[in-house]
Each structure stands twice: as structure tokens, then as C-alpha cells.
């Protein structure tokens, strides 16, 4: 599996056809508009003064209450906005009207005062939008331990509510950035024999990214019509293969949230026949955003796909792929374009999974450097040439003869990552 699957860099005219098991096809076309590309959604981004400069507060509003689902961090040091959003999704039965997002302050590890600030943020969102409190979702990102300035948030939300537009997605994607080098947004139009619908989204994340939901926020919208139970099923399934299959530094944060809202305004019902088409579109959007997070990782210069094959179980495949993708020795070797296959095999052997050295293999790009106890040192120059590229593909076969495999996307580890995180607060 390559580092950049077809569709990551689609131009507006590009078209991808996905063959379904029933022989039908869905056509995915890249469209502009990000999180407001789907019918029934508007957004606004403002400067509330939560960061030293730039936009830092976003309001996303559905024209009518929308089906909603969320997936959250697994970190037990859970940030206040995560607690509030989980509560609201439970109380509303999976319905949401608005999402408020701030950067510049994570509102994490802030005790009861932080919970009060988060609830005030949700209440202000409900007030400016005119919806029940439980139909609001909130998310925060930034430095841990800082208390959210609710006066700034309330004032910012009041301003944002007066400027909601369906063409302001780029500003929204910019406002949620922290150390991200650039905004991350994408959208696709899905054409099927039963009709057309759109899925779009935006995300942020550059550091503290690990495949258990990390310092990463994702917001996806669609105008397909789907009930909340099935919507959550779709989100959880796709997150396992996208947002939960990336890592920058193995650090799981306090604030991770991915939300998915469905307005239903396209009129296309996601029944059993439409389910494969919906999942293809959702995975295209989530996958692009997830890989863009890795591309924009702190100090990153390369997007790296780590493919593990020959695993005894899916769990073993995932565990080994994550271990390799998080290894500082592997990531620094990739940064230096050093085809040090020994580091790859060493991580696979200590990953705590079934492993057979005598039948294991290591590949860098198209080049096999080690297989069946044989070393192919003469191929290293070709492997080094592959590592010099912006997109790198490495593979490890665990040698068990098993059929399970997994791919995790990561990036290289550079001196710039150290500089960014050494100076993050100062």
C-alpha cells in the first residue's frame, strides 16, 4: 500500500470510481467547500483573542437539527469540552445543531473551573444559535492547563453568529490550527444511481498524534440522510482505518474529538444499498484529512506508510505497525534517508507479537533488503533513493505465514520537531 492512495490530491475535475460488491459503482469527485460543502451547513471564524494572533474561534451551524455522532480521546486525562460533548450527544440522542471550536487553549486539566468554562461555552453557543443546550457540541485545542477565557469566547460567538456563511470553510480550517503549518480541508461529491450527496470536512493536528485519537480535531458534514445510530457506526468504522491509523510522535492527548453531522438535505437515504457508497465517500474524506495531519506533523518532511503483512492476527498487525511507526530510531533513519532495515526488523521483533525471523522480510519502497535470513546490501542505494522522496513506503512481513495486515501512516522525526516542542509554551 503506497503512502498516498489515489484521491489525496484530486483536482476538481478528477473522478474516482469505486466498484461495490453488488457490481454498482460510486463516483467520487473532489469539490471545494470543506466543512460547509454539504448542503445545510454554514460556518464563521473570528478572532476572539485566545491566541497571540489570527483567527481562533469557529462556529459551525446546521440549518436544521442534524443527525450527529462523535468519537473521542481514549486518554483518561479527559479535557472538559470532551466531557460536555459526550454528555450532549447522549442527552440529545445523536442530534446537533451547532459546533463551537476554539484554538489557543485546550481547557484541559483545569478542574471544576474548566468544566464551568466548557458549559458556559456550550450555553453561549445554544444562545446565539437558538437551539436546546444538548444540541450543541464544543471542542478546544491548545496549551493544556490554561483556563478558557469565557468572556472572550462568548463575545466571539456573538460576532460569529452574525457572519455565518456557506463559503467560509477555509477561514474555519485556518482558525482551528495551532502548530499546524497549513489548513486541512477536503470534500467529495458522491454520485450513485440513486442520487448525489456531498461529504466534506476539516481537521487540525500536528503534534501529540498517536493512533488512539490524539491532539487532533476533526469535523465532517454530509447532506446525506442517515439516522444517528448508523451514522455513529459509520464514523467509528472509518476512524479505525483513518484517524486511528496515524501517528506523529506516539503521544495521546486530552482533547481529541471527531464529529460527523448529517443534514439530510440531499434527499439521498443511506439504506443498505447506499451504505457502501456512503462509506467510500466518508473514508475518502477522513483518509485525506488523516494523512494531511501526518504530512503537516511538527517538523515533518516526509509522509511514511508503514505496512505490516504476514501477521497472525489483525491485532498483531496493528501493534507491530504502530511500534514501527512510533520508533524514534526508525523515524530518524527515514529523515536521514538511511535504509537501515535492521531498525525495522528489530522493532518488529520486540513489538510483542508473533514473529519468525527466519521467514521475515523488510521492504523499502519496491526494494526488498532482507528476506528469509538473506541480506541484499547491494540494493541499499535504490532504497536510499526512495527514502529521499516526500512520500515513503516501507513494509515488514512478520514471517508467521498469517494473512493479517495493517497500515499506519507516520512521518519522519527531525530536529525541527525538537525545536517546536522545546519552545511550545515559551
CA end-to-end distance (rounded Å), the chain: 40
Q: In whole angstroms, what is the distance from residue 407 CA to residue 245 CA?
A: 7
Sheet of strand 374-375: strand arrangement: 374-375, 367-371, 361-364, 391-397, 303-311, 404-411
CB 172 within 8 A of CB 35: yes
Of 215, 254, 288, 368, the catalytic one is 215
Residue 98 CB coordination number (10 Å): 25
Q: Is 215 a catalytic residue?
A: yes
Residue 256 CB coordination number (10 Å): 29
CB 400 within 8 A of CB 356: yes
For 3, phi then psi, to 5°, come to: -75, -25
Read off the C-alpha cell for 325. 511507526
Q: Classify strands 391-397 and 303-311 as parallel, antiparallel or unpaired.
A: parallel
Which residues are designated catalytic?
215
Amino acid at each position: 500500500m503506497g503512502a498516498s492512495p489515489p484521491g489525496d490530491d484530486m483536482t476538481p475535475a478528477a473522478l474516482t470510481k469505486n466498484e461495490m460488491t453488488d457490481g454498482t459503482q460510486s463516483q467520487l469527485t473532489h469539490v471545494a467547500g470543506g466543512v460547509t460543502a454539504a448542503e445545510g451547513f454554514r460556518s464563521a471564524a473570528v478572532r476572539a483573542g485566545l491566541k497571540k494572533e489570527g483567527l481562533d474561534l469557529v462556529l459551525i451551524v446546521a440549518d436544521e437539527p442534524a443527525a450527529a455522532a462523535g468519537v473521542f480521546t481514549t486518554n483518561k486525562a479527559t479535557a472538559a469540552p470532551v466531557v460536555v460533548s459526550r454528555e450532549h450527544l447522549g442527552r440529545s440522542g445523536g442530534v446537533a445543531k451547532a459546533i463551537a471550536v476554539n484554538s489557543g487553549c485546550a481547557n484541559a486539566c483545569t478542574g471544576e473551573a474548566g468544566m464551568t468554562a466548557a458549559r458556559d461555552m456550550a450555553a453561549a453557543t445554544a444562545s446565539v444559535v437558538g437551539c436546546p443546550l444538548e444540541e450543541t457540541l464544543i471542542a478546544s485545542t491548545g496549551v493544556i492547563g490554561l483556563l478558557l477565557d469565557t468572556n472572550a469566547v462568548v463575545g466571539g460567538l456573538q460576532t460569529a453568529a452574525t457572519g455565518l456563511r456557506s463559503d467560509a470553510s477555509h477561514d474555519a480550517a485556518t482558525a482551528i490550527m495551532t502548530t499546524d503549518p497549513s489548513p486541512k480541508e477536503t470534500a467529495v461529491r458522491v454520485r450513485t444511481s440513486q442520487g448525489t450527496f456531498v461529504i466534506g470536512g476539516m481537521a487540525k493536528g500536528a503534534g501529540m498524534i498517536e493512533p488512539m485519537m490524539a491532539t487532533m480535531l476533526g469535523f465532517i458534514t454530509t447532506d446525506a440522510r442517515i439516522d444517528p445510530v448508523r451514522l455513529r457506526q459509520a464514523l467509528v468504522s472509518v476512524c479505525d482505518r483513518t484517524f486511528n491509523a496515524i501517528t506523529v510522535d506516539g503521544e495521546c492527548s486530552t482533547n481529541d474529538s471527531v464529529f460527523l453531522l448529517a443534514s439530510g438535505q440531499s434527499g439521498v437515504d443511506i439504506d443498505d444499498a447506499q451504505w457502501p457508497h456512503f462509506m467510500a465517500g466518508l473514508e475518502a474524506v477522513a483518509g485525506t484529512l488523516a494523512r494531511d495531519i501526518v504530512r503537516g506533523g511538527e517538523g515533518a518532511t516526509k509522509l511514511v506508510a508503514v505496512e505490516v503483512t504476514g501477521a497472525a492476527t489483525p491485532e498483531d498487525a496493528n501493534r507491530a505497525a504502530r511500534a514501527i511507526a512510533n520508533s524514534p530510531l526508525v523515524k530518524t533513519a527515514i529523515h536521514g534517508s538511511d535504509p537501515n532495515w535492521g531498525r525495522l526488523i528489530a522493532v518488529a521483533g520486540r513489538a510483542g507479537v508473533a514473529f519468525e525471523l527466519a521467514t521475515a522480510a523488510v521492504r523499502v519502497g519496491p526494494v526488498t533488503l532482507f528476506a528469509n535470513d538473506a541480506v541484499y546490501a547491494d540494493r541499499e542505494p535504490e532504497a536510499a533513493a526512495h527514502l529521499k522522496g516526500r512520500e515513503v513506503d516501507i513494509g515488514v512481513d512478520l514471517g508467521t505465514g498469517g494473512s493479517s495486515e495493517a497500515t499506519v501512516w507516520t512521518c519522519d522525526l527531525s530536529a525541527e520537531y525538537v525545536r517546536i516542542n522545546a519552545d511550545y509554551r515559551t
